[in-house]
Amino acid sequence: MKILACIGSNRKKGNTARIVQMIEARMQTFAAQHATPLEFETLYLGDMDLRPCRGCRVCFDQGEDKCPLKDDIPLIRAKMDAADGLLLASPVYVDDVSGLVKNWMDRLAYLCHRPAMGGKCAYPLATVGDSSPSHTLRTLNAALLTWGYHLVGQTGLKMGALASADELPRYQPAADKVAEKLFNAVAQQKAQNPAFVSLLAFKVQQLAWQREPPGSYDRTWWQAQGWLEPACTFYFPPRANRVKVALARLAGAAAARVLT
């Protein structure tokens, strides 16, 4: 099992990094108990060469490999591709994700058009001083869902400016819960049984790209995956109840009328 943890704080001894370390330790325990080899890689987005998106739309219109910015985005994308699960951890900055996370998301915005993360699990985590983490979690959830990830939970932790070593044990139950959910979801391949909202989101996108005039980069890409075929219900044949799939597709068709 391969897990990639992306940390959107520059503080390597900060709240977010500490919680991710606690989650990793717990996941290693589960892995040992289940005799499952676990590769857990932590990526500090602040260590990466990540330039701000210029908004040129080349990734949308010609493909991400044509992006004029030559930095670490392809390296990060390769790590995301290689991982079975993503732990995305951001501190809350002014009621939303940190700039590091937002920039990383903007640079991967082409994944909203060409969701390549189907079949992988993701867990969004936000640490916050004292206010609500819900807006930040919504931002994280929306991106991960649109990119094709299967969301296995979400956690927001109020930790003040910097939790002291004495305070950290208070967060152990929450860290254990994240570790358990992510480990089980990946081990049991829960992404193969997508959530109703994921099936719905697929239908909305499918209808949008079916209506697009032929020839666009995105439409051609969808076509190449076989996802524009009327019988195609998801990024891969889902291991889901047929009634759920049918209802999600009906709801997706209705939502598409409003959204597109």
Ligand X SMILES: Cc1cc2nc3c(=O)[nH]c(=O)nc-3n(C[C@H](O)[C@H](O)[C@H](O)COP(=O)(O)O)c2cc1C
- Which residues are near ligand X by CB under 6 A? 9, 11, 14-17, 91-95, 127-131, 159, 161-162
Give the shortest CB-99-to-ligand X separation in angstroms: 9
Of 117 and 159, the one with the shorter C-beta distance to ligand X is: 159
- CA–CA separation, 233 and 206 (whole Å): 9
Give the shortest CB-200-to-ligand X separation in angstroms: 31
Of 11 and 77, the one with the shorter C-beta distance to ligand X is: 11
Q: Coil, strand or helix: which one is 113?
A: helix
In a 10 Å sphere around its CB, with 0-12 CB exposed, 13-18 middle and 19+ buried, how is residue 214 labelled?
exposed
For ligand X, the nearest residue by Cβ is 14
**Closest Cα to residue 246, out of 212, 203, 214?**
203
Of 105 and 186, the one with the shorter C-beta distance to ligand X is: 105
* DSSP structure string for 153-202: --EEEE--SS--TTTGGGGHHHHHHHHHHHHHHHHTTGGGS--HHHHHHH
Give the shortest CB-50-to-ligand X separation in angstroms: 17
Would residue 63 be called left, alpha or beta, if left means φ above 0 and alpha means ψ between -120 and 50 degrees? left
Q: What count of other Cβ atoms lies within 10 Å of the Cβ of residue 251? A: 16
Of 81 and 95, the one with the shorter C-beta distance to ligand X is: 95
- CA–CA separation, 163 and 25 (whole Å): 18
Give the shortest CB-131-to-ligand X separation in angstroms: 4
Q: What is residue 87's DSSP assignment?
A: E
Give the shortest CB-244-to-ligand X separation in angstroms: 37
Of 160 and 226, the one with the shorter C-beta distance to ligand X is: 160
Give the shortest CB-126-to-ligand X separation in angstroms: 8
Of 135 and 190, the one with the shorter C-beta distance to ligand X is: 135
